[in-house]
Amino acid sequence: MPSLSDELLQKAEEVLDLCAKTITPLTVAESCTGGLVAASLTAIPGSSAWIDRGFITYSNQAKIDLLGVDPVLIERFGVVSEEVARAMADGALSHSQAPASAAITGIAGPSGGSAEKPVGLVHIASAHHGRPTLHRRLLLAGDRDAVRRAAALAAMDLLMQRLRS
């Protein structure tokens, strides 16, 4: 499992500072990062004021059951897709008390990739009540830990972008 690097902890502090400035609690829905974003955020003292909850929805069924992701989206676009990332971010809002969310789905490797969806492909989304859901598609390099760490950092960056606008 990737350690909570100084970079992850610094980024988590930035997210929480922005939550405090904007008075915005948040929730996260994670698949390929397996809770790395939530772990980074909750490692910061005082984070309980801004973190409502986290969802680790590694399986397709967990995404359906816990976040309300439509199984048709998974069947049509695949679990690693913009459509599912957006549905996860929106579902995290619907299943929490937070007005802002981030969601991550991807292929961390070393196996599981294909020509169409290679290892390192990650989709992240960030939602906020009353605002459009943001999305980013990434193709990350490195081993499993590197992909997970980079995906977590990118998700926190997108979340901060959503909170600022």
Residue 1 has pLDDT above 90, yes or no: no
For residue 105, the cross-strand partners are 123
Residue 2 has pLDDT above 90, yes or no: no
3-class DSSP state for residue 29? strand
At 86-142, the pLDDT tens digits run: 999 999 999 999 999 999 999 999 999 999 999 999 999 999 999 999 999 999 999
Q: State how far the Cα of 101 lies from the Cα of 52, in Å rounded to an integer.
A: 10
Q: Mean pLDDT score of the chain, rounded to an integer?
A: 97
119 burial type by CB count under 10 A (0-12 exposed, 13-18 middle, 19+ buried) = buried
Domains and CATH numbers, the chain: 6-164 (3.90.950.20)
Q: Average pLDDT for residues 156-164, to the nearest whole number?
A: 97
What pLDDT score was predicted for residue 117? 96
Sign, CA torsion 17/22/26/29: negative
Residue ranges of E strands in the chain: 26-30, 51-56, 100-106, 121-128, 131-139
Task: Answer yes or no: are the C-beta atoms of 51 and 25 closer than 8 Å.
Answer: yes
